[in-house]
Amino acid sequence: MNDAVRDDSLRLAQPADAHSQEEWEAATAAVLRKSGRLTSDDADSLVWDKLTRTSLDGLRIAPLGLPDTSFADVARPARSGPWDIRSLVSGLSGLSGVDAKSANEAALVDLDGGVSSLWVAADETTDLAVLLDKVLLDLAPIVLDAPIGAVKVAQGLLALIAERGTGLHAATNLGADPMGALLRDLPLAPDEAFAELVDLARLAQGIGVRAIVVDATAAHDIGASDVQELGWSIAVGVAYLRALTEAGFSPAVAAALIEFRYAATDEQFPTIAKLRAARQLWSRVLELSGCEGVEMRVHAVSSRPMLSKYDPYVNMLRGTVAAFAAGVGGADAVTVLPFDSANGVPDGFGRRIARNVSHLLIDESHVAAVADPAGGSFAVEKLTADMAAAGWEAFIQLEEEWTGANAVGGHDFSPFRDRVAAVAAEREKAIARRKRPITGLTEFPNLAETLPERPADPLNDRAVRYGASFEALRDAPATGKVFLATIGTVAQHTARATFATNLLAAGGIGVEVAGATSDAEELTGKYRSAGAPPVVCLAGSDKTYAAWGADAIAALREAGATHVIIAGKPDAVDAEVDDAASMGVDALAFLTATREKLS
């Protein structure tokens, strides 16, 4: 270390560099006043309200944590060093143009590229001998995902190792999760599925591997919030513990057979807190069960609902943030879904980018060098504590609803589904109003893009993507274009014209732009040259609206416009308009109505 660097490091540690909360509030308030989010009369302390956001669970996520924040001890992750990089390989029947051989080729490329375990989606028709050809099963853990015919698929794996004369890696998991499958509405007979759970546990115990995955993404994929996902996972984990102990397993042995899977989203702090809270909750369950020495095994997978099939390259960014949060949150294994997963079965490029995300985070950013990087952060610790408390309440609620159920078939999921549906509706409302923007879909869409063509993937049927309503509009582009009646100079109309263009494009609607105009006559001439489409959107500044906006609307209506929209508030011009587009508008309703007028 040279003297300059040494001097700087010493200087930063001096008491003179400490700053008070009031100083931070003043500096932050100055920035918010420049952006108009605070007025000169507002107190500096209002920055907390302005910058604190509320999650779908009602949890407050503050911009900073404070030293006086109180929180409970968190169960620290047991992982030491890099996480297990796990890729998803699908051998499901019904894939168009994909077979077990091509899935095997993808798996081998992944393993050669640094993947350390395989998550295998399979069913009774999957040829595991082909799919896992040349895979060293004693070195690479296999986690099965076969909700239909789980025992037969597991038996196929055991037959394969018997034929090869080898064993399975201890982190292999036979993947039983009947309650997750039922939540996904898969065609299972509940009592039979419950019996299979016990059968798989006995099989796994006999060969020294795990048997069960509590797949909380089953809840996440239908719209559950973070807290609901937590509550579901702990409730299902407890249900499986009870089932196994009633079948003769000790609590410790039963707990050791279970692995948990959670969704990691691009909301990094809630994801970090969720994974840390999950360990805290499960640790408490194990403590009450008398098996405190068993470590929780966590697999985090980047959220399928958060992906977009439009502008799919943005999914690379979402996946990177999700993987970072999963690693910081202490996940033992991390799967980044390829960026083109929403378009169908991912190709080789998508898979390579996905696995390299973890390599970069581990080897370049050294995220895995510390066991619990978020530990001690007041903001993260507070959010973890809040999420754990709310998650425990969600768990207790499910426990009360399932009281007396001693088998999978005895659990009533209807109240839980209703609560999830309510949260999903709130999320949908926020997305419709673009308060939860989806880049490339609801924000900055590109109508000229060419989507990557991929074979259909039945795994996409498991999840409802957050932008599904907007994707449906884009799937069927509007039959005509809106005339963007830009009034005034380019400088005067650019801001609102850009806003309107992006908003309309989010609904698959293109525009014909007038360009700079000086009066109603010139604007009307350009309108006629564009073919006089029935829908017109006026875009200009408040000053030009006041000067000749009303004349422009009258002239456009006389020239054939039947539906006039104004970019801005409806009272921004002294004339009647049919609709208005401004910040906070229900974009989904606006776009649907506009498309109807175009047709």
Helix axes 414-432, 378-401, angle to 10 degrees: 140
**What is the spatial distance between Cα 48 and Cα 52, in angstroms, rounded to a whole number?**
6
4: pLDDT strictly greater than 80: no
**What is the spatial distance between Cα 453 and Cα 580, in angstroms, rounded to a whole number?**
36
pLDDT at 359: 97
Mean pLDDT of the chain, nearest integer = 92
583: pLDDT strictly greater than 50: yes
**What is the spatial distance between Cα 209 and Cα 432, in angstroms, rounded to a whole number?**
46
pLDDT at 408: 60
pLDDT average, residue stretch 407-436: 90
- Lowest mean pLDDT: which of 12-26, 64-78, 115-129, 187-201? 64-78
pLDDT average, residue stretch 514-531: 95
- Least Cα distance to 309 among 488, 450, 509, 494 occurs for 450
Beta strands in 161-207 (DSSP E): 173-176
pLDDT at 429: 96
11: pLDDT strictly greater than 70: no
**What is the spatial distance between Cα 463 and Cα 459, in angstroms, rounded to a whole number?**
8
Instruction: Name the CA radius of gyration of the chain, rounded.
Output: 28
62: pLDDT strictly greater than 90: no
Residue 516 half-sphere exposure toward CB, CA atoms < 13 A: 4
pLDDT at 64: 86
Share of the chain above pLDDT 90, in %: 80
- Neighbouring C-beta atoms of residue 465, cutoff 10 Å: 20
φ, ψ of residue 514 to 5 degrees: the values are -70, -40
- Lowest mean pLDDT: which of 79-88, 91-100, 173-182, 468-477? 91-100
**What is the spatial distance between Cα 239 and Cα 382, in angstroms, rounded to a whole number?**
29
Q: What domains appear along the chain, each with residue ranges and CATH number?
A: 84-419 (3.20.20.240), 476-598 (3.40.50.280)
pLDDT grade, residue 93 (50/70/90)? low
Tell me the two tokens of residue 177: 């999760």
pLDDT at 96: 44
**What is the spatial distance between Cα 473 and Cα 477, in angstroms, rounded to a whole number?**
7
Write down the pTM of the prediction.
0.93
Q: Is 383 helix (H, G, I), strand (E, B) or coil?
A: helix
519 to 129, 406, 474, 495, 568: CA distances (angstroms) = 74, 76, 34, 19, 19
Residues 6+ away with beta carbon under 8 Å from 90: 98, 103, 120, 121, 345, 457, 458, 459
Higher pLDDT: 140 or 570? It is: 140
Tell me the two tokens of residue 429: 């409302």
- Lowest mean pLDDT: which of 76-80, 256-260, 463-467, 556-560? 76-80
230: pLDDT strictly greater than 50: yes
pLDDT grade, residue 218 (50/70/90)? very high
pLDDT at 416: 96
C-beta separation of 328 from 367 below 8 A: yes
Q: Can you give the length of the chain in residues?
A: 599
pLDDT at 205: 94
C-beta separation of 335 from 303 below 8 A: no
**What is the spatial distance between Cα 217 and Cα 223, in angstroms, rounded to a whole number?**
10
Side chain identity at 349, as an amino acid letter?
Answer: F
Higher pLDDT: 188 or 474? It is: 474
pLDDT average, residue stretch 87-94: 84
Query: 90: part of which helix (H) or strand (E)?
Result: strand 84-90
Q: What is the dihedral of CA 583, 587, 592, 594, to 10 degrees?
A: 20
For 15-57, the DSSP string reads GGG---HHHHHHHHHHHHHHTTSS-TTS-GGGHHHHH-EE-TT
167: pLDDT strictly greater than 50: yes
- Least Cα distance to 196 among 183, 182, 207, 185 occurs for 182
Q: Are strands 298-302 and 258-264 parallel, antiparallel or unpaired?
A: parallel
pLDDT grade, residue 558 (50/70/90)? very high
pLDDT average, residue stretch 132-148: 95
469: pLDDT strictly greater than 70: yes
pLDDT at 149: 86
72: pLDDT strictly greater than 80: no
51 to 33, 48, 268, 401: CA distances (angstroms) = 13, 5, 16, 37
**What is the spatial distance between Cα 230 and Cα 282, in angstroms, rounded to a whole number?**
10
